[in-house]
């Protein structure tokens, strides 16, 4: 099978990759791909194969390729395998149970209302700057105890880490965030512990007096800060854009706000914020759909492709907020198996509150067609735009 050159897929691949993924699925469920930087990896694009790959113990998260990240930031959930992953997840998962997250709803609503109070009088503006970014970054920083004044720096570091524009700048951003977290953790450890998540991580214990080490606390704070806001920023933005691009679905949701849960699930399937899961590596040769991936190879699981696979979803390119109620559940936007997104309940809560409140308070919300065309984020990880100009 020929190597797929991403550069040959056309200039619109970043803006609209779905037709290209559809073409790849017709050729097979697994492809060897070469990115623009020349790096070769394997891309899984079929729904069944993606779901199988998530549960395949032969695909591991830790590898020599992750050694530098481990050395710089510490070992976190996204680069760990059992038994390390099992231990780390157990020690932190109690802070993200659905019950704990549900208790955050009043605060999420309060932050949303305050942001919309500031946003709506202008009559037009950028959704990302006004709501999609400040809501999740405020929530996760409050949870971790990060001071207000440091959040703009976090935004710059996080953006460069997740959607890098320059390799050296991305590395510098990781180092800057590491140094900041070390200082913040030191202050939390030396001062009276608070009721924030960082303090909870520092005192977390499990059976056998197990604790998170200092490096593990730093790594956990890092991944919660980055994953805890970058994905939700784009879930909210993609959701609003999808609804405005489909007036019939927007009208149905306005007529029946009870459809909001299903609308958020459909956004996750149709235009989820994570295009491909973070890299896994083959511990031994694996075969999917008749294609063998050799041992020691990097693998991307294609969430955006899997969730538009017609073998799993009827009319997959149709945005239908009633799909979940009609048996269309099962999207892979949050992954599957032991690495299923720890923050999924929080992301869902923030998206529902943000989108529902925005639609209620801005009944004539529309895309600002006169504004500059939004720029799509580069890379294969995050799916979204840097801005979303709106008017109301």
Give the pLDDT confidence of 313-369 residue by residue, as tens digits: 999 999 999 997 544 469 999 999 999 999 999 999 999 999 999 999 999 999 998
Tokens describing residue 44: 């899984």
pLDDT mean over 110-138: 96
Extended beta strands in 171-217, E state: none
Of 225, 119, 127, residue with least CA distance to 176: 225
Of 66, 64, 92, residue with least CA distance to 79: 66
Alpha-carbon radius of gyration of the chain: 21
CA neighbours closer than 13 Å in the CB half-sphere of residue 217: 24
DSSP 3-state percent helix, strand, coil across the chain (nearest 5):
55, 10, 35
Alpha-carbon distances, residue 108 vs 92, 126, 241, 253, 268 (angstroms): 21, 20, 21, 21, 20
Question: 276, 43 in Cβ contact below 8 A?
Answer: yes
Mean pLDDT value across the chain: 90
Above 60 in pLDDT, residue 208?
Answer: no
Above 80 in pLDDT, residue 36?
Answer: no
Domain with 36 in it: 4-391
Count of structural domains, the chain: 1
Q: Which residues pair with 59 in a beta bridge?
A: 282
Distance separating alpha carbons of residues 299 and 324, to the nearest angstrom: 29
Pairing of strands 298-301, 280-282: antiparallel
Alpha-carbon distances, residue 184 vs 141, 179, 290 (angstroms): 12, 9, 50
The DSSP symbol for 46 reads S
How confident is residue 65, by pLDDT bands cut at 50, 70 and 90?
Answer: low
Tokens describing residue 186: 């030191």
CATH code for position 62: 1.10.630.10
Of 62, 107, 56, residue with least CA distance to 83: 62
252 by Cβ neighbours in 10 Å (0-12 / 13-18 / 19+) ranks as middle
Tens-place pLDDT, residues 262-299: 999 999 999 999 999 999 999 999 999 999 999 999 99
Question: 41, 257 in Cβ contact below 8 A?
Answer: no
């Amino acid at each position: 099978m020929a190597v797929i050159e991403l550069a040959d897929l056309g200039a619109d691949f970043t803006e609209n990759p779905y037709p290209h993924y559809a073409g790849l699925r017709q050729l097979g469920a697994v492809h060897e791909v070469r990115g623009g930087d020349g790096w070769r990896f394997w891309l899984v694009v079929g729904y069944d194969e993606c779901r199988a790959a998530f549960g395949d113990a032969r695909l591991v998260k830790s590898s020599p390729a992750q050694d530098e990240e481990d050395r710089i930031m510490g070992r976190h959930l996204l680069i760990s395998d059992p038994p390390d992953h099992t231990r780390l997840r157990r020690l932190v998962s109690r802070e993200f149970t659905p019950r704990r997250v549900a208790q955050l709803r009043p605060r999420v609503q309060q932050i949303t209302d305050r942001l919309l109070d500031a946003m709506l009088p202008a009559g037009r503006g950028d959704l990302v700057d006004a709501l999609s970014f400040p809501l999740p970054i405020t929530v996760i920083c409050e949870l971790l105890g990060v001071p207000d004044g440091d959040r703009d720096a976090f935004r710059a570091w996080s953006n460069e880490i997740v959607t890098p524009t320059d390799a050296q700048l991305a590395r510098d951003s990781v180092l800057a965030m590491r140094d900041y977290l070390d200082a913040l953790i030191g202050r939390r450890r030396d001062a009276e512990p608070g009721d924030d998540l960082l303090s909870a991580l520092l005192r977390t214990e499990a059976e056998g007096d197990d604790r998170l080490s200092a490096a593990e606390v730093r790594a956990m704070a890092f991944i919660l800060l980055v994953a805890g806001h970058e994905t939700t920023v784009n879930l909210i933005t993609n959701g609003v854009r999808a609804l405005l691009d489909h007036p019939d679905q927007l009208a149905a949701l306005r007529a029946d706000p009870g459809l909001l849960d299903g609308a958020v699930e459909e956004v996750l399937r149709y235009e989820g914020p994570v295009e491909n899961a973070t890299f896994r590596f083959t511990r031994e040769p694996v075969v999917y759909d008749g294609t063998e991936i050799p041992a020691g190879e990097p693998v991307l699981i294609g969430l955006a492709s899997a969730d538009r696979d017609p073998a799993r979803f009827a009319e997959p390119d149709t945005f239908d907020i009633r799909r979940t109620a009609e048996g269309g559940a099962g999207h892979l936007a949050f992954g599957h198996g032991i690495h299923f997104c720890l923050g999924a309940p929080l992301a869902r809560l923030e998206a529902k509150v943000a989108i529902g409140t925005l639609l209620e308070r801005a009944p004539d919300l529309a895309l600002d067609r006169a504004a500059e065309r939004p720029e799509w984020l580069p890379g294969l990880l995050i799916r979204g735009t840097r801005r979303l100009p709106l008017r109301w």
